Structure 1
Amino acid sequence: MRIFTLILAAGLVIGAATASAQTRANCAPREAVVERLADRYGETRQSIGLGSNNAVIEVFASDETGTWTITVTSPNGIACLVASGQAYETLAEALPAKSDDA
């Protein structure tokens, strides 16, 4: 039983170290992230908002290639990539009309 516990603990430590390394690989000073998105993917900021803990949420996209990236920048200036993809489109949809039943 003790050997199983040690193996399980070692697995958890390795898993945590791997997750930490992946997180750091997706984060950098905001200026460097914005420059890389522009230079490598032709993406520019399309929208911005304020998230929890004063984090700045930004969507970058390229009208030419359709690629997009969502970043979260913490108050210390470190930006992390949280999602990316293809087929970006800008939309301006109106709110649905309210019915009298509401």
Structure 2
Amino acid sequence: MVKFAGKAIAAAVFAMSVASSANAATCANRDAVVDRLNANFGESLIANAMSASNNVMEIYAKPNSSTWTILLTLPQRRLTCLVASGRGEGRLQAFLHDL
């Protein structure tokens, strides 16, 4: 999982710029989003990184890698936005490889 998280952080920096223009339909209060990921999918934080513009990218996953979610928190707007989600580590690695 550590190798997976390191590669995900490096490659997902691209997602930070994409999600920074996200509309409110894909964004909500961070605590509510994190609570829902944990309650509905059993996901917890496995990696995070901060961009030069102080946005925070976080990767959540279920311990057995059956589901994962990438979030971007925009502290200035007090919003957390969904960047990507999926099932299985292989799909996430393939997605990140293509960035």
Under a length normalisation based on structure 1, what TM-score does the superposition of the two structures give? 0.60
Which residue of the partner structure matches residue 41 of structure 1?
41
CA distance in structure 2 between the aligned counterparts of 1:65 and 1:79, rounded to whole angstroms? 22
Residue 54 of structure 1 deviates from its aligned partner by: 0.5
1:1-102 matches, cutoff 5 A: 23-64=23-64, 66-76=66-76, 77-88=78-89
Contact 1:54 1:75 in 2 (8 A): yes
- C-alpha RMSD over aligned residues: 2.1
* Between structures 1 and 2, the one with greater helix share: 2
User: Aligned partner of 2:87: which letter?
Assistant: Q
Contact 1:63–1:88 under 8 Å retained in 2: no
Unaligned runs of 5+ in 2: 1-21, 91-99
SS at match of 1:53: coil
Could you list the per-position Cα deviations for residues 26-47 of structure 1 after superposition, in whole angstroms to 9, with x for gaps in the alignment?
Answer: 1101000000000011100000
Provide, for residues 45-66 of structure 1, a one-character-per-residue CA deviation record: whole Å limited to 9, x for no partner.
Answer: 0000002410000000002361
Measure, in 2, the Cα distance between the counterparts of 1:53 and 1:65.
30
5+ residue gaps, structure 1, are 1-21, 90-102
Q: Is the contact between residue 62 and residue 88 of structure 1 (CA under 8 Å) also seen in structure 2?
A: no
Q: What is the percent sequence identity of the aligned residues?
A: 40
RCO (CA 8 Å, sep 6+): is it higher in 1 or 2? Answer: 2
Runs of 4+ in 1 over 4 A off after TM superposition: none
